[in-house]
Chains A and B, each alone.
Chain A
Amino acid sequence: MKNNDNLNAALAAATCALLGSAVAAPVAAQEESSGWSFDSTLLYYGESDDRVRDISAAVAAQRDFGDERKFSATLTADTLTGASASGAIALDRPQTFTSPSGRAVYTTAAGAVPLDDTFLDTRFALNASWTQPLARLYTVSAGVGFSTEYDYTHLGANLSLARDFNKRNTTLSAGVAWSQDDVDPVGGRPIPLAQMLDVGNDSNKRNGGESKDVLDLLLGFTQVLNRTTVLRVNYSYSDSSGYLNDPYKLLSVVDPLTGDTLARVPIGQGPDGVYLFESRPDARTKQSLYAEVKHAFGTPVMHFAYRYMTDDWGIDSHTGEVRLRWPLGDGYIEPQLRYYTQSAADFYRASLVNGAALPRYASADFRLGDFDATTVGVKYGHGTTGGNEWSIRAEYYQQTGSVPQEQIIGNQARREQYPDLSAVIVQFGYRFRL
């Protein structure tokens, strides 16, 4: 049937001719349902080399009250085990570190990239939001969020307003979000750039927690380009202030010629090298520009997204993502590809050189370094007769980074400077309505 735009008009006219002048009032029909719809997911994240492993489960519930008023809430629980690179460099000899609690030591084998002490952390998060029309063409949305884990608590709220134009082909939106987080590290907060000391000596730590405040602004523009294409562009501004350090990350202090960590003799139990805790600025401003397009080629749908981020720590990043959804049997298959690249923070240091002036800020956290990351994955989804859908997704994530040439000193050159990170992600999802 061609010209489906006219199908309805033609049908209405034909029916009118058949039934005569009786004009029936417009239909008012609605499916009786509790109005609740749910989305649930179970995710496994596992890094290679026995590093971080995470299992998380989340349930999102949404209740439609009609007239575009909606309530939604999400509950997430995840359990994280394992360790990430601490920032200290690898050496040809084993290394001993004091654990974050300050009550024990742990050792790294010779030649291995030192990892944090293994930990187990369980986090719970709850988010809720309410959306409703404010006036014709205006929609307002407000939300709150809370999360807790053993050393971190988060409390946040957000508010946004959207306005439709141009027969709802264009939408402009503006939103703001505040959050206040409290960090209470195990063993106390390390003094920035203080040295790691022996077991039982906590003169390098401060007691009590610290807070971190974040303000986010979001401006959004959504536009229907044609019958099969829709575009969204967002500009974000984010301002963080307060305690932005990672309390468990270190830097090794190295000899200027050999590039090996300075040795230290502990009294009793303690580190056998000179390690300093990292120091980051207490403020960070980020800006990002994000654009995404969804286009339907007949039944398959392609999604493409790009994000550019820049901040005042000197980090610039580009993210590109593409997904293609193909119908397959009674369901669909969706291969995905993501590419990410970032430049290192200004204060990123592979190690600190003994004798040189101590910089104000320094961090060897690889997440602030210069790296590329690629994700390849595929998702399969299948609808069931009730309108429900289950899905399964598998992805492989790989990060490869590098240390700036001028920061590689002496023996460091012949060891792995920036450990690759690779992880497998498997996710099950089930969406249903009641």
Chain B
Amino acid sequence: MNTSCAATLTRNADHWVGRFVAMASPCEILVDDVQASLAQQVLDVVASEAWRIERKYSRYRTDSAVHRINDSAGSETVVDAECANLLDFAATLTRLSEGAFDITSGVLRKAWTFDGGNHVPSQAQIDALLASVGWHRVEWQRPVLQLQAGMQIDFGGIGKEYAVDSAADQVERIAPGLSCLINFGGDVAVRNARPDGKPWRVGIENCTRMGAAERVVQLSRGALATSGDARRFVFRDGHRYSHILDARTGWPVRNAPHSITVAADTCTQAGTLTTLAMLKGCNAESLLRESGAQYWLQ
């Protein structure tokens, strides 16, 4: 996949808008009123970080760390500190979700194509793929990772939110205290509040009417992450199957909300809550309520 390595900077009324494409999503950064040169620096740093993470963790790129790991399934590989942190985090999520979330579940993609139709694979197809799914089948002893032959890992479920937080860190390093909003395809973080106290306004798209924002959230500080099925689901026997697969069964979760948006201190935390909630299907709201986090459902 080609990433467009172009980042454009334009000026709005009282802030800068930087745009680029990364991780197959439209990305933008809104920077509070500063000199053009600083805004450009901030955009460069954010775009570079986004592309770096994409290069390193994309399963499509032959030069990515993930590709290297997947290629050597069956034998040991050594990973670096950042990758080890992500693997530890993913292992924690697998534990917290009792196995429903699993970064080895990517192979199930071969059976499910979420194009709005009603194609459902056979149980035999799913069972065959399930043999290669399961974190319990992985030998992970930091920094050595060993997948069984045929297994693959995929950081798709946590990569984008992590990238947002990591990019925010990079901005904080070159311009501490600067208020900017980082938005990678709907995963948003604001590290510092604006000096005049005005919040950044984030529109949450209405699932049933594409393009029309249903709600506006005023984000002064913190992060928002959204998980939704608007364009990727399967309808069968009166149930709506979202594109999020339960790694234990190989089937998608049933009757989860159309869309969940969560507000949390970091984008990773917000994104994790939306994922864990979606995996609960019809009980998503219960988990969100218990977490005490602010959330919006559709």
Contact = CB atoms under 8 A, between A and B. Distances in A.
**Does a CB–CB distance below 8 Å link A and B in the complex?**
yes
Interface of A: 1-2, 4-5, 7-8, 10-12, 14-15, 17-20, 22, 24-32, 385-386
A11 B298 contact: no
B216 A32 contact: yes
B221 A27 contact: yes
The 4 lowest CB-CB distance pairs between A and B, nearest first, are A27-B222, A29-B263, A28-B220, A32-B216
Contacts of B192: 25
A18 B162 contact: yes
A30 B92 contact: no
A5 B265 CA distance: 18
B51 to A, nearest CB: 19
Given A1-B287, A4-B290, A4-B291, A28 B193 contact: yes
A385 B206 CA distance: 10
Given A1-B96, A15-B272, A17-B85, A29 B218 contact: yes
Interface string B228-260: 000000000000000000000000000000000
Nearest to A21: B169
Given A28-B221, A29-B218, A14 B93 contact: yes
Contacts of B169: 19-20, 22
Nearest to B100: A1
B100 to A, nearest CB: 9
A14 B222 CA distance: 17
B193 A29 contact: no
Which applies to chain B's interface (DSSP): helix, strand, loop or mixed?
mixed
Contacts of A30: 199, 217-218
B287 A24 contact: no
Interface in B257-271: 263-266, 268-269
B291 A19 contact: no
Interface in B193-217: 193, 199, 201, 208, 214-217
Nearest to A27: B222
B68 to A, nearest CB: 21
B172 interface: yes
A27 B218 contact: no
Given A19-B266, A28-B219, A30-B217, 7 more contacts: A1-B287, A7-B291, A18-B89, A20-B169, A24-B222, A24-B266, A29-B294
Interface of B: 85-86, 88-89, 92-93, 96-98, 162, 165-166, 169, 172, 191-193, 199, 201, 208, 214-224, 263-266, 268-269, 272-273, 276, 280, 287, 290-294, 296, 298
Nearest to A19: B165
A28 B48 CA distance: 28
Contacts of B294: 27, 29
Which has the most chain B C-beta neighbours within 10 Å: A8, A10, A19?
A19
Given A1-B98, A24-B222, A8 B165 contact: no
Nearest to B222: A27
A31 B296 contact: yes
Nearest to B258: A385
Given A1-B96, A17-B89, A28-B193, A11 B272 contact: yes
Contacts of B98: 1-2
Which has the most chain B C-beta neighbours within 10 Å: A5, A14, A18?
A18
A12 B291 CA distance: 11
27 contacts: A1-B276, A1-B280, A4-B290, A5-B290, A10-B96, A11-B96, A11-B272, A11-B273, A12-B269, A14-B88, A18-B162, A19-B165, A19-B166, A20-B169, A22-B169, A24-B265, A25-B222, A27-B222, A27-B264, A27-B265, A27-B294, A28-B199, A28-B221, A29-B220, A29-B222, A32-B201, A32-B217
A31 B216 contact: yes
Nearest to B279: A1
Nearest to B189: A24
Contact of B266 (A15, A32, A386): A15
Contacts of B93: 14
Contacts of B92: 10, 14
A29 B165 CA distance: 17
Nearest to A14: B92
Which has the most chain B C-beta neighbours within 10 Å: A8, A28, A29, A32?
A29
Contacts of A31: 215-218, 296
Contacts of B272: 11, 14-15
A8 B98 CA distance: 15
A25 B265 contact: yes
A14 B85 CA distance: 10
Contacts of A18: 85-86, 88-89, 162, 268
Given A27-B223, A29-B224, A385-B298, A19 B268 contact: yes
Nearest to A298: B286
Contacts of B208: 385
Contacts of B218: 29-32
A26 B165 contact: no
Nearest to B292: A8
A429 to B, nearest CB: 22
Contacts of A29: 217-220, 222, 224, 263, 294
A1 B162 CA distance: 23
A2 B290 CA distance: 11
B96 A7 contact: yes
B168 to A, nearest CB: 8
B171 to A, nearest CB: 11
A5 to B, nearest CB: 8
B94 to A, nearest CB: 11
B268 A15 contact: yes
Contacts of B265: 24-27
B269 A1 contact: no
Contact of B222 (A2, A17, A26): A26
Contacts of A24: 165, 191, 222-223, 265-266
Contact of A17 (B88, B97, B291): B88
A22 B266 CA distance: 10
B142 to A, nearest CB: 12
A37 to B, nearest CB: 15
Contacts of B273: 11
Contacts of B224: 29
Nearest to A18: B89
